[in-house]
Every structure is written in C-alpha cells, then in structure tokens.
Amino acid sequence: MTKAICVEPIYAFNDNYIWLLTTADGKAYVVDPGDAQPVLEALHQRSLTLSGILITHWHPDHTGGVEALKAALDCTVWGPKNEAIRGIDHYLDEGDSVALAGITFSIIKVPGHTLDHIAYVGDGTLFCGDALFVAGCGRVFEGTFPMMRHSLDKLRQLPKATRVFCAHEYTESNLRFAVTADPENDALQQHNERCQELRSQGKPTVPSTLEIECATNPFLRWDDPDLAQRLVASGRCSTTAADEVFEALRSWKDTF
C-alpha cells in the first residue's frame, strides 16, 4: 500500500507482472496487461471495475490484452506515442501527467529497450516496465547504450524511497550476473540473500526501492570506481568513461 494506492501483482505468462492499482475510491487500473484473461479474473475476484490501462512500451507481452480489455470493459488507455499500439486513447510524452482519482503520475521518457518506452512516477511509486529491473535493466533492442544509460540516469535521480515496480521477475538471474560483476559489494551480497529467501518462499522480489537499486544494481553503478576499474582490468572496456562502462556491463550480461 502506498499513500493512496494499493498495488498488487497479477501474474501472467512465465514471469510477467501486470500491476493492479486500486485507489481509495475503489477504482482499478492496470499497468502493461499483456494478457486480458488474468486481469479479468483478478477484477472478478475482487469485485472491481477497470477504469483505465497504463502502457509503458509496445512489446506484445505488455500490450496483448489491451484491445480485449477495452472491448469488454470500456476503459481508458494511456500510453507512449506509438501508433503501433492499438487502443490507446491518450498519447503521453515527457513532462505529461496522468491523474488517476486525484493521484498524479508524471511521465518520464526512458528510451533504450524500445524507442517509445515511458515510465510513470507518482505517489512514491515507479512503474518502469522493462527499463529497470531488480538488479538489472532491459536489453537494448531499439536504442543505443548511451541512450539507455541516460534513461536509467533519469530514474536514479528520483527520490531514493521510490518503490520500483518493474514488469518481470528476472531477479534471480540478474543477481547471478550482478554478484559476478561486482563481487566485493557487501550490500549486493545481502540483497542477494534476501531475494533468494523470498523466491524460496514463492514470494515476488518486486517492488524494490531506488535506494536498494542504486546500492546493488550494476546498471545504475557505472560511476562506481571499483566496478569500473574491475571492468578495465578484465579487458571488458578500455576506460572508465560512463558510457563505455555501461556498454561493457550490458554487453556482458547479454551473453552471460
């Protein structure tokens, strides 16, 4: 529970999280519904009516349920400026905002994973789709490595107490890479143990917080001297320049 919103996961596919937001006045919204059926089941179980959908980017596992939900429930859809996403009523860009029952979410453009990717931040929460994960970040499919790093830099400037709601349970594999890339990070070791315990109990590792991610996520730590020097010493990059360090980390993870 945040200040004004109850946020719950709806599980979809193998590892997707569709986030269900319930406001104090009983309205419901979902973030990135790649599949309509689990959303319809969750709404029925909780006797909720869907008021709207928030989309972060065009990938089908984030948008595949939009048209069916909109047809069945006549809800409003917000999303990035990408006409390839069918069903959006209101296109959003950097600096725009969405008011949900009096709660305002600001829009941050975070291209890199895809060029249209946006994030929603408000009420102490960040819905970041596939831009930022617990202990990881999205693959750079459409953008460039500097573009992705710049997007992540925007996110790490948010208040450290911000809760990070990403769209996949990738944490275990991300942490295996993180402890390999940053083995002397005590905070990371402790975070790894906590997350392993959660997963052993069948519990999600999401949400995280930006404070935790800035301390443990190698993809937010490109300017950590020890991490950068380790990459140079291993021959994965030739300098400690931020973009080069980030590219070395992301390229390494792609084949890890």
CA distances from residue 167 to 5, 57, 186, 224 in whole angstroms, order as listed: 18, 11, 26, 27
Which residues are catalytic, by number?
57, 59, 61-62, 113, 130, 168
Strands (E), 138-234: 163-166, 208-209
Q: Classify 66 as helix, strand or coil.
A: helix
CB 156 within 8 A of CB 166: no
Torsion on CA atoms 41, 42, 47, 51, rounded to nearest 10: -100
Provide the token pair at 73: 């429930």
Partners of residue 125 on adjacent β-strands: 122, 163
